[in-house]
Amino acid sequence: MRAFGFLALLPAVLGNPLNARTTACNNSPDLCSKSYGEITHLGAHDSAFVRDSNSGVSLAGDQYYDTPTQLDAGVRLVSAQVHKSNSEWRLCHSKCDLMDAGTLSDWLKDVKKWLDDNPNDVVTILLVNSDGASASDLDAQFKKADIVDYAYKPTSNSAPKSWPTLQSMIDDKKRLVVFVASLGSNTDAPYLLDEFSFVWENPYDVTSPTKFSCDPQRPKEVSGQASTALASNRLPLMNHFLYSTDLSMFDVEFPNASYVATTNAASGGTGNLGSTATKCKKEWGGRQPTFILVDFFNRGPAIETVDNLNNVSNPIGRKSLSTSDTPQSSSGSTTGNVFKDLLDLANSAKGGASPSMGNWIWVGGNWGSLFGGGVSF
């Protein structure tokens, strides 16, 4: 009876499309045999900084969905800034007063859980080390999240000529790559990789859709020289997000969300992701970007360009999200409200309040000019 029941179930199990997931790597069976460095991974810029109801629809948010949802939807590189606040390592956007997304270890626990639940996926973490955490500081947080066992350790501290295939990383259960910008000695935690020893990036501070560039910018050694960058074996990371300059007179930059459907589109419109990626690939002698980093990744949707670069036409096991609507309609995202909030903030500071800077805006620069009395409203 029992055997019969089992056999009777078998065709149903085999017929279940979800079952195919066990043979897909990063959402596609075709990617299993590809090397980690050869495919394109979609990256969520500032993954931890979410513009949703939990953050009061903060303008400092660069994504509409939280990190586990990003991963469910196909993002494979997640990123955040690490700051030291009240002697804790926390994920804050520019300043902890502006946007505090909690402790690094709590965020890592979310990623760990996602890796546990998705045994056939390879994920990359990119941390901006804003307050100079040492490898052992960071290692303590990774240990707290119990995620260290997943971390992949290359054989040396410089960029390898080739990376393992996704399948071999999955088989070895070393499915997490961690880059930190920047990191001193990593002897205490060799899985923490100094980003710019392994990766190069094009410019990120772009405020006009006509200004996206494929030229290497960081690290300095390869700046402006694609052939040197490529020959160094570092992996190309293509930044592709747009800042608004509406508040540039305050040295304030925040993500341009109103144009993001075009910025992240696979085709059509100035500065779209698809055409830019094609242009970069051409300028890089046919090398596709290993990582593409975007704001509001569900818009576009950005994953379409990544699938095109990876020749993936039937992604498996991916959560689909709205590509048009934002999860929260945001009263804070209009320019009018930005100015209103900024005025309120500046006025309360002028009134002598020690400003809790609010958590509503992305600040790219110098609050001093705002509070120093040079600006009158």
Ligand X SMILES: *[C@@H]1O[C@H](CO)[C@@H](O)[C@H](O)[C@H]1NC(C)=O
Which residue's entry shows tokens 């379409």?
A: 304
d(CA 216, CA 229): 7
Interface size with ligand X, residues (CB under 6 A): 13
Which window, 32-40, 128-136, 167-175, 298-306, contacts ligand X (CB under 6 A)?
32-40
* Min CB(243)–ligand X separation in Å: 8
Q: Please give the single-letter amino acid code of residue 348.
A: S
User: Do 206 and 164 form a contact (C-beta atoms < 8 A)?
Assistant: no
Q: Which is nearer to ligand X, 34 or 45 (CB)?
A: 34
Choosing from 27, 28, 37, 39, the residue that interacts with ligand X (CB under 6 A) is 39
Q: Which is nearer to ligand X, 54 or 208 (CB)?
A: 208
* 258 contributes a contact to ligand X by CB under 6 A: yes
Local structure of 103: helix, strand or coil: strand
Find the shortest distance in angstroms from Cβ 287 to ligand X: 9
Q: Does 259 bind ligand X (CB under 6 A)?
A: yes
Tally Cβ neighbours within 10 Å of residue 306.
Answer: 31
* Binding segment (CB under 6 A) for ligand X, from list 112-120, 232-240, 251-259, 314-322: 251-259
Number of residue whose CB is nearest ligand X: 244
Q: Is 311 in the site for ligand X (CB under 6 A)?
A: yes
* Residue 256 binds to ligand X (criterion: CB under 6 A): yes
Pairing of strands 235-239, 243-244: unpaired
Structure-block tokens of residue 65: 């969905």
CA dihedral 114, 95, 260, 199 (to 10 degrees): -60
From CA 102, how far away is CA 291, in angstroms rounded?
A: 25
- Considering only residues 55, 310, 328, 359, which one is a binding residue for ligand X as defined by CB under 6 A? 310
User: Could you tell me the smallest distance in angstroms from the CB atom of residue 257 to ligand X?
Assistant: 7
x-or-dash pattern for ligand X, window 80-119, by CB under 6 A? ----------------------------------------
Q: Does 227 bind ligand X (CB under 6 A)?
A: no
8 A C-beta contact, residue 166 and residue 31: yes
Q: How far is the CB of 277 from ligand X (least distance, A)?
A: 12
Among 209, 355, 364, 365, binds ligand X (CB under 6 A): 209
State the helix-helix crossing angle for 273-283 and 302-310, rounded to 10 degrees: 40
Considering only the C-alpha atoms of the chain, give the largest distance between any 2 of them, rounded to a whole number of Å.
84
Told to check if 53 binds ligand X by CB under 6 A, we report no
Closer residue to ligand X (CB): 151 or 235: 235
Rounded Cα distance, 65 and 322, in Å: 11
Distance from the Cα of residue 213 to its chain's centroid: 19
- Please report how close the Cβ of residue 199 comes to ligand X at its closest, in angstroms: 18
Query: How far is residue 174's CA from residue 208's CA, in Å, rounded to a whole number?
Result: 39
Q: Which one among 53, 335, 356, 366 touches ligand X, defined by CB under 6 A?
A: 335
Which of 289, 299, 352 has the alpha carbon at shortest distance from 321? 299
* Residues forming the site for ligand X (CB under 6 A): 34, 38-39, 208-209, 244, 246, 256, 258-259, 310-311, 335
